[in-house]
Amino acid sequence: MSDEARPPRTAVVIPAAGRGVRLGPGAPKALRALNGTPMLVHAVRAMAASRAVRLVVVVAPADGVAEVKHLLDDHALPERTDYLVVAGGDTRQESVRLGLEAVPDDHDIVLVHDAARPLVPVDTVDAVIEAVRDGAVAVVPALPVADTVKEVEPAAEPGGPEQVVATPVRARLRAVQTPQGFDRATLVDAHATVALAGEGATDDAGMVEKLGAPVVVVPGHEEAFKVTRPLDLVLAEAVLARRRANDGF
Ligand code: C5P
């Protein structure tokens, strides 16, 4: 089939090569269990739940590639989905770039998803892919913010009073989630062009903005929250329990 004739192919890159990211004592964050299954496995399954996703590339710590491969081998994924595990780099940006390099050329759409958002519903994944298929080069799921947000001048001493410099209009603010979806060539261009400064980019869509390319937002989902604090683990297990009660998941 010619490139023109075949439907677009979608791959997902999951950067999970961070070190020392811990939710209190216990295993590294991506390997922390939620209802007995590692968070990373939930995240891979959440991506594989979309029928459009053909390949999931997990970026693991260089010395953890074999361990992550075993983990994925041990947990069933849909047969239609392939997965690869590659070694990451020193920053998230570097790890995403290495994951992107492992995506075969015949994939036109690439999603980047946080392992720390294990419960994103398939409808959100599909909405992101759909928006890229419809012509957007960069798509971010996001929610309106509930809190009023202040921009401050950070205090010299942690915990000290901070000068407020601005109060953005709340109705125009969005809290962004993942998976973020991209036209593959645009994301490759962003990673080749946008300089790595310090810790590098924590947000791939932000890199595309720096290229000057348009980024659009689609509705996110409250269950796509990032598991960051210990309380988030409680919330995540409650979401899983509710899903199990509702549909035997
Ligand atoms: O450290 P932080 O929470 O910003 O990491 C965000 C994501 O990027 C995590 O899933 C982490 O595993 C990943 N990461 C990575 N390679 C690094 C640093 C972070 O894949 N060198």
Nearest to 71 by CA among 33, 107, 102, 101: 33
Percent of the chain exceeding pLDDT 70 equals 92
Which residue minimizes the CA distance to atom 6 of ligand 1?
Answer: 92
pLDDT higher than threshold 80 for residue 200 = no
Residue partners of 81: CB distance under 8 A and separation at least 6: 47, 48, 53, 54, 55, 56
d(CA 249, CA 236): 14
pLDDT higher than threshold 90 for residue 247 = no
What is the structure's pLDDT at 22? Answer: 47
The verdict on the CB of residue 18 being under 6 Å from ligand 1 is: yes
Atom of ligand 1 nearest to the CA of 115: 10
The verdict on the CB of residue 116 being under 6 Å from ligand 1 is: yes
Task: Determine the distance separating the centroid of ligand 1 and the alpha carbon of 92, expressed in angstroms.
Answer: 5
Task: Determine the distance separating the centroid of ligand 1 and the alpha carbon of 224, expressed in angstroms.
Answer: 17
Placement of tokens 């796509």 in the chain = 224
Is residue 59 within a helix (H) or strand (E), and if so which, with residue range?
A: strand 53-60
Give the model confidence (pLDDT) of 88-98 as tens digits.
999 899 999 99
Note whether 86 and 98 are within 8 A (CB). yes
Placement of tokens 């971010």 in the chain = 140
Task: Determine the distance separating the centroid of ligand 1 and the alpha carbon of 52, expressed in angstroms.
Answer: 25
Residue count of the chain: 249
Give the model confidence (pLDDT) of 227-237 as tens digits.
988 899 999 99
Which amino acid would we find at residue 28? P
pLDDT higher than threshold 70 for residue 249 = no
Please give the structure tokens belonging to residue 86: 């590659």
Which amino acid would we find at residue 166? A
Give the model confidence (pLDDT) of 69-116 as tens digits.
999 999 878 888 999 999 999 989 999 999 999 999 999 999 999 999
What is the structure's pLDDT at 77? Answer: 82
The verdict on the CB of residue 28 being under 6 Å from ligand 1 is: no
Nearest to 113 by CA among 57, 65, 66: 57
Helices (H), the chain: 39-48, 65-74, 92-101, 122-133, 184-193, 204-211, 230-247
Please give the structure tokens belonging to residue 241: 């329990």
Give the model confidence (pLDDT) of 24-47 as tens digits.
555 677 888 898 999 999 999 999
Please give the structure tokens belonging to residue 87: 């070694």
**Which of 67, 95, 202 for mutating ligand 1's site (highest number of atoms within 8 Å of CB)?**
95
d(CA 121, CA 124): 6
Domains of the chain by start residue, with CATH: 10-141+176-247 (3.90.550.10)
Task: Determine the distance separating the centroid of ligand 1 and the alpha carbon of 82, expressed in angstroms.
Answer: 22
pLDDT higher than threshold 70 for residue 219 = yes
What is the structure's pLDDT at 26? Answer: 57
> What is the model's pTM?
0.93
Which residue minimizes the CA distance to atom 10 of ligand 1?
Answer: 16
What is the structure's pLDDT at 242? Answer: 93
Please give the structure tokens belonging to residue 191: 């990673």
What is the structure's pLDDT at 21? Answer: 47
Give the model confidence (pLDDT) of 160-181 as tens digits.
999 999 999 999 999 999 999 9
Is residue 82 within a helix (H) or strand (E), and if so which, with residue range?
A: strand 82-87
Which amino acid would we find at residue 149? V
